[in-house]
Structure 1
Amino acid sequence: MDQDLSATKKATRAGAMHARAQAFAAPDRSARVTAANAALQGYLHQHFGGDLSAVVLSGYMPMRTEIDPLPTMRAHPGPVCVPVIEARAQPLKFRAWHPEVRMIPGPFGADIPAEGAWLVPQVLIVPLLAFDSAGFRLGYGGGFYDRTLQALRAPGSVLALGLAFGAQQVEAVPREATDERLDAIITENGVIRPAG
């Protein structure tokens, strides 16, 4: 990555962290999280219809100021899993999750299931720092979701849905050739389908 792009990403991350923290601290956060999860569940029902119970859904265990996907994960009628980081510069793996599963600390601070089957998700709910209307996201810089989406999209299809507060939208996410586009972004304001 060239120095200019690196500096731009660093500045965008800092601004995005601040915007997300403000949305997280807002007095109406609970209502925003509820609205975003309702929009996400509506999108999934619209996309898959009666087949939703056969769809493997990957969520994530929210940390810091990430918007909480657990309401959608709990409501999903089919198998649910969460990402597990096995090594740097590698795609994520996904372990089965349910509300009663015993969780343990994983790498980078996210809790992971202590045990359970490894699954291949058909839908990924993706956390992010910032997103734009073209469907690109800015993460923490590890490249885990980009590698994972590239690997999952190679043999077939996977639906990648960003979940965020509306305040996390930026005009344009600084990006590289390896950055994978999201299929949609869901916020408390509804569904954003990438333009262009």
Structure 2
Amino acid sequence: MSDTSKISDANTGLPNAGADWPTIRDWRKETRTKLIEQRIGLSAQDRAARSQRVSQALGAALEPYAGKLIGFYWPFRGEYDPRAVLSSMRERGTRLALPVIVERGQPLVFREWSPGRLMAQGVWNIPVPESGEPVFPDLLVVPLVGFDEQGYRLGYGGGFYDRTIAAMSVKPRTIGVGFELGRLRTIYPQPHDIALEEIVTER
């Protein structure tokens, strides 16, 4: 991931090396807003073309996990929609789970999901399984607002995925999924940030 010609325009006005956390946090907030606006602003044709390429790459990346338990996400604010790819895997025996925010500042809980499952409106009105015992995925498919050359993720600022992965006694594999427009030179990773093992985009 060394081709800087594809670096997002949002990765400008970078903090100086050694910047303190409040400065980096403010920069992340501004960058997050720009990237979400760009993502939502994609034309329907452009989004469909990008999504098709992401789906092909994601399907290949997930193939080794067929038959396992995969945690994924319900798309939000213009995110790539992974549901068709994951549903196809479910037809071949893969189990699926969705994250639930039980309490702010706490790890996510994953509940098993299948089409037709009774859903409730969660935080930010994202659908979540209404009930179910917690499950522990073998793999997490994680949404990206942005990502950098080292595989660190810029999310929505709540720290839920980092906190969840850190709390798991058996660490799941991780694949970040998003559009190439979210590529950044760096997110200025902090001690609490956990790098993803693989990044999948339309590229």
TM-score (normalizing by structure 1): 0.85
Aligned to 1:35: 53
Which secondary structure state, in structure 1, belongs to the residue aligned with residue 185 of structure 2?
Answer: coil
- Would the alpha carbon gap of residues 174 and 16 (structure 1) be closer, same or farther in structure 2, given more than 3 Å must change? farther
Question: Cα offset for 1:26?
Answer: 4.6
Aligned to 1:158: 172
Aligned to 1:14: 33
Among 162, 174, 177, the alignment partner of 1:146 is 162
Judge conservation of contact 1:63–1:109 (CA < 8 Å) in 2.
Answer: no
Q: Which amino acid aligns with 1:165?
A: F
Among 137, 150, 155, the alignment partner of 1:121 is 137
Which secondary structure state, in structure 2, belongs to the residue aligned with residue 188 of structure 1?
Answer: coil
Q: Which amino acid aligns with 1:56?
A: L
Question: Cα offset for 1:184?
Answer: 0.7
Counterparts of 2:113 and 2:37, CA distance in 1? 30
1:84 aligns with 2:100: yes
Question: Cα offset for 1:144?
Answer: 0.4
Aligned to 2:198: 184
Judge conservation of contact 1:97–1:116 (CA < 8 Å) in 2.
Answer: no
1:108 aligns with 2:112: no
1:175 aligns with 2:175: no
> Can you list the C-alpha shifts for 1:140-182, whole angstroms capped at 9, x where unaligned?
1111001011122xx3331111110111111111321101110
| RMSD after superposition | 1.6
Gap runs ≥5 in structure 2: 1-19
Q: Which amino acid aligns with 1:104?
A: A
> Can you list the C-alpha shifts for 1:76-99, whole angstroms capped at 9, x where unaligned?
231100000000111100011111
How high is the sequence identity, in percent, across the aligned residues? Answer: 34
Larger mean Cα displacement after TM superposition, 5-14 or 92-101: 5-14
Judge conservation of contact 2:142–2:175 (CA < 8 Å) in 1.
Answer: yes
Larger mean Cα displacement after TM superposition, 104-113 or 77-86: 104-113
Q: Which amino acid aligns with 2:52?
A: T
Gap runs ≥5 in structure 1: 190-196
Q: Which runs of 4+ in 1 moved over 3 A?
A: none
Decide which structure has the larger Cα Rg and report it: 2
Count of residue pairs the alignment pairs up: 181
Which secondary structure state, in structure 2, belongs to the residue aligned with residue 94 of structure 1?
Answer: strand
Larger mean Cα displacement after TM superposition, 125-134 or 25-34: 25-34
Among 76, 82, 88, the alignment partner of 1:63 is 76
